[in-house]
Structure 1
């Protein structure tokens, strides 16, 4: 499904107009998302932080973000209808809205995580984002993979931020999976899709032989691979933006 055009606006300003406005919600239990909804929310958080000039996202941009091959585990092949349905689910759960910007012909998609979690810090949001996009990870992996969104000065500061999310009031947002049962180091998972099945993690043994090795600074090869992935992501975003402009112009 392509982005739906909107009637032109008489307002020439850059004012953002929401087409549906969620109220602030505080729930006694954590909102539960489908896998697709979690992927969409993670993409919106990521693009807001890393490519703010292209945020909010059109449906085509969101579709490309969900299915990009870099910084995603697992890599998916969601259809545009699945992405649109997932976004509708986020809107229903007060985690997203559809907006239009003055002069734009298509609606755009925006997360509203601050409506339910108004006190999340930048670091906390970046960790949630990467956990939504890449699943179970060690503290070292999380520190490295959030670098473009937030700089953690040390492993200890990363762990402290993760602990705040584990202790989040009124309900935890993530869970620490202790070492053991085939796991050589502790890992973290988000709880937006429910409690994790820890038995499923037993076969996933990190290659590091110790915790100190698992949280060490990435090698030059890993840094180069990360930079290459970032360039691929930027190219995919630019291609998506060009396609969106063509759609708006009716090309």
Structure 2
């Protein structure tokens, strides 16, 4: 961290607030015509079936409480929308001191939980083009330096990274889950791991395309 650089202290967020913040940043990048977002649009974005882990089923009250939490920390803002519907926008760039590639990677960690460099490259590239794994590593290193991201497993193939906005109890659960997954994958041959990685990449590309088509349909119907 450079001398004199101002950073905000890490504030753990609830699962609902993390999901809402991730959706706000994602949609600002992928569907700017529908941003800032109404509460109804946020509910749809939080509960969509693709590009989300875990799956959620948030209602209006859940989203409003999450927005209150985010606004309390300065991570989101309410603005006057057209007509009588208020809309919301994120303030993640200022709150967490992020640039565009950092925001793309961090958002994927918010929306999908812990991931490897390869998974992050595939998924975050829909918001910012990451040329190769070295580009992802550079972004992750910068986020680690800001104390926003950490590695959950040792260096090497399949190393997993997570953001640091988890409350303590969730963080402990994640560590246990990653250790269990690592133990299982260690017995899988390298060729099979490559095939699995390729399949995940193809599925991610398909689900991203489905999301784009769903957004276009919503625009046409509105």
TM-score by length of 1: 0.74
Equivalent residue, structure 2, for 1:201: 178
Counterpart in the other structure of 1:43: 23
Partner of residue 130 from structure 1, selected from 108, 119, 125 = 108
Stretch of structure 1 that moved more, 40-49 or 199-208: 199-208
**Alignment RMSD, CA only?**
2.9
Shift of 1:133: 0.4
Aligned residues between the structures? 211
Work out whether 1:61 is the aligned partner of 2:61.
Answer: no
Secondary structure in 2 matching 1:203:
helix
Unaligned runs of 5+ in 2: 1-5
Once the two structures are TM-superposed, the CA of residue 135 in structure 1 deviates from its matched residue by 0.4
Question: 1: CA distance between counterparts of 2:101 and 2:149?
Answer: 14
Distance 1:213 1:190, change over 3 A: farther
- Please point out which of 146, 163, 183 is paired with 1:190: 163
State how far apart, in whole Å, the 1-side matches of 2:130 and 2:14 are: 29
1:99 maps onto 2:74 in alignment: no
TM-fit CA distance, 1:201: 1.9
Q: Which has a greater percent of helix?
A: 2
Cα separation, 2, equivalents of 1:67 and 1:194: 22
Measure how far apart 1:110 and its partner are: 0.6
Deviations 1:99-119 (A, max 9, x none): 123x4330011101123234x
1:210–1:173 Cα change, 3 Å: farther
Per-residue Cα deviation, 1:41-80 (whole angstroms, up to 9, x for no partner): 0000100111111111110000000000000001111112
Are 2:93 and 2:99, in contact at CA under 8 Å, matched by a contact in 1? no
